[in-house]
Structure 1
Amino acid sequence: MNRYLALVLHLGLFTGTLAAPALADTTPLEQQLKDLESFQVIAHRGASGHAPESSMAALELAHAWGVDYLELDIQMTADGELVAFHDDTLERTSNGEGHINDHTLAELKDLDAGSWFNEENPELADDAFAGAEILTLEEVFNRFGQDARYYLETKSPELNPGVEEGLVRRLEAYDMIETGRVLIQSFDQESLLKIHELNASIPLIQLVWYSPDEENEGRLTEWTGVTPSPDEITDADFRAVADYAVGLGTNYLYDGEPVITKAFVQQAQDNGLAVHVYTVNDIDEMQHLIDWGVDGLFTDYADRLIELTE
């Protein structure tokens, strides 16, 4: 038996999502937005602490645990196919070389995107991981369909021209929008606004990354400039994001030090934004952020988070 399947059986966890049953006279999309008011368990690249990130094994394990969202980064191949892969280059999580966008789907399918995990995590190694394929978005949808919710990032849109159109086209083809199955996230505000123009029904999450300002000691800055420093952010700044997004995805730490506060979380929520924090794997940090009242956490170890929130 595969190690990850054995883990599912050992934990005795169920298959399905944690979303509440739809309320009477509520559309599935409205229900999705309502569910965002409850705490969300977001499986970062699937159960990536237990299996190769973004692999079918990682997604199946997270889905079996009953996570609220399967989180994936979406990129475009040289021949226009959408694939689930985080890095811009292939070396870290496959035996390929170069930029993923320079390769056709057929070339990517020939790669081994699983053996690296066994080499880096010998205590978690599983022979079944060797030879894992880079997945297309269609393969993910064909596997889980309407039985899962998806938290998809338009990754490096400057390297993936047309990714927004391709993504919306596939979401519509698989009826993932009106059925309340998908959130779209990006650090790139322009990419999110493009998604909004293509289909205004898709709920969006603005990603932000706060880190020290190299030119101003003691001050934080946001990577893309989409908001001011957390110390300087105003209600108007949050409302500007809430004009097109339903939530904010933010880091909590930089180099081990907090970059946001409980007050930041509350202020964002007061201005109509859910706050989802990435990527939190430590149980004490999970509990700390839950105590702050955050609306969800991205984690490589959804099993830990589920156990903490049950």
Structure 2
Amino acid sequence: MQRLPVILTLFLLIAACGISEISKAPLPVEEPILIAHRGASAYTPEHTILAYEAAKQAGATYIEIDLQMTKDGVLVAMHDEKVDRTTDGNGFVKEYTLEELKQLNAGQSFNRTYPDLANKQFENLEVPTLEEIFLHFGDDVNYYIEMKSPGIYVGMEAKLLALLKQYKLIHVNEGLPKVIIESFNEDSLTKVHQLEPRLPLIKLYSFKEEAAALSVQEYNRLRSYASGIGANLNSVTTDFIQEVQQNGLQIYLYTIVNEVEMKQALNLKPNGIFVNNPNLGIRIKDEFD
């Protein structure tokens, strides 16, 4: 009769081991990967289908998509919580229904801000939904998705996962994962991890200049759910990057805007680099190799 508790204990230990083995999704070993920040945002209106197309044509490893959510619960690609900077509208994304948001022009402000890059092709661009992006590109690109302000948007994580599953974008094959998810919000990332442990997760940080540092406790906590971290270029040193990697995590640097910064980033040997201009990033990386 005493063998039953022992068997039960062994079963629970085996189950626990099984859970721990799927506790963190692997990231690619090829490095450094290049992530097109908001698409090819250096020369096309950010977070538009056109910007993502330009990034794909340039050969970026991933396209980055920032997520906001409309009043009627639709995930859309936009960096800011407000529409003012990138459209001809004003106010918060969460105050717009999708139908209302679709009336805004997502390209005119780019033409005004960057007259040297202005293009008639940019004049009538829409804010795309995440589903429209998946429908347009499907399996042809890799997606690096940031959940913006998930504390404001209740249910963002579940909606994102539902779309990823609907379009069969959660891959467990060897090599590059089709989707990587990032956020500054740890609670949101752990929620995603609990719902779908197969997805690689990146915890974002914004450190003070040359002051990037993580405690032993932070490393332990990160390893429980994350595959890596994201950090601002001007905050990191070679020693910090090596420390992160020696702790079993990858590190991705943001955001490179010119040739000098690209060379600086490559010299630091991170696992990935966010670039506004994927053409420039790829050229410098090829020369660097």
Pair in the same fold by TM > 0.5: yes
Counterpart in 2 of 1:237?
A: 218
Aligned partner of 2:190: which letter? Answer: L
Aligned length: 259
Confirm or deny: 8 A CA contact 1:239 1:272 kept in the other structure: no
Inter-partner Cα distance in structure 2 for 1:100 and 1:234: 36
Gaps of 5+ in 1: 1-31, 213-219, 221-228, 254-258
2:38 corresponds to which of 41, 45, 56:
45
1:288 corresponds to which of 248, 257, 264:
264
Q: Deviations over 1:55-86 (max 9, x none)?
A: 11110000011111000101111111110011
Q: Which has the larger radius of gyration?
A: 2
1:184 matches 2:165: no
Inter-partner Cα distance in structure 2 for 1:34 and 1:119: 39
1:264 corresponds to which of 235, 240, 243:
240
The normalised TM-score by structure 1 is 0.80
Inter-partner Cα distance in structure 2 for 1:290 and 1:235: 27
1:169 matches 2:155: no
- Which structure has more relative contact order (CA 8 Å, sep 6+)? It is 2
Counterpart in 2 of 1:252?
A: 233
Aligned partner of 1:291: which letter? Answer: N
Inter-partner Cα distance in structure 2 for 1:194 and 1:298: 25
1:309 corresponds to which of 275, 285, 288:
285
Q: After superposing the two structures, state which structure 1 stretch, 233-242 or 147-156, moved more.
A: 233-242
Aligned partner of 1:281: which letter? Answer: V
Inter-partner Cα distance in structure 2 for 1:308 and 1:167: 34
Aligned partner of 2:224: which letter? Answer: D
Counterpart in 2 of 1:149?
A: 142
Q: After superposing the two structures, state which structure 1 stretch, 113-122 or 242-251, moved more.
A: 242-251
Confirm or deny: 8 A CA contact 2:59 2:278 kept in the other structure: no
Inter-partner Cα distance in structure 1 for 2:134 and 2:49: 11
Confirm or deny: 8 A CA contact 2:31 2:270 kept in the other structure: no
Aligned partner of 1:230: which letter? Answer: A
Inter-partner Cα distance in structure 2 for 1:200 and 1:292: 30
Inter-partner Cα distance in structure 2 for 1:281 and 1:268: 24
Confirm or deny: 8 A CA contact 2:36 2:277 kept in the other structure: yes
Confirm or deny: 8 A CA contact 1:235 1:267 kept in the other structure: no
Inter-partner Cα distance in structure 2 for 1:57 and 1:36: 29
Inter-partner Cα distance in structure 1 for 2:30 and 2:248: 10
Counterpart in 2 of 1:109?
A: 102
Inter-partner Cα distance in structure 2 for 1:118 and 1:39: 32
The normalised TM-score by structure 2 is 0.86
Inter-partner Cα distance in structure 2 for 1:167 and 1:84: 12
CA RMSD of aligned residues (A): 1.7
The secondary structure found in structure 2 opposite 1:67 is: coil
Q: 1:91 deviation in Å?
A: 0.6
The secondary structure found in structure 2 opposite 1:146 is: coil
Tell me the percent identity.
Answer: 38
Inter-partner Cα distance in structure 2 for 1:33 and 1:197: 16
Confirm or deny: 8 A CA contact 2:83 2:89 kept in the other structure: yes
1:84 corresponds to which of 77, 82, 87:
77
Counterpart in 2 of 1:10?
A: none
Q: Deviations over 1:89-131 (max 9, x none)?
A: 0111001111001111000001001000000101100001012
Aligned partner of 1:86: which letter? Answer: H
Gaps of 5+ in 2: 1-24
Inter-partner Cα distance in structure 2 for 1:283 and 1:297: 13
Inter-partner Cα distance in structure 1 for 2:130 and 2:231: 25
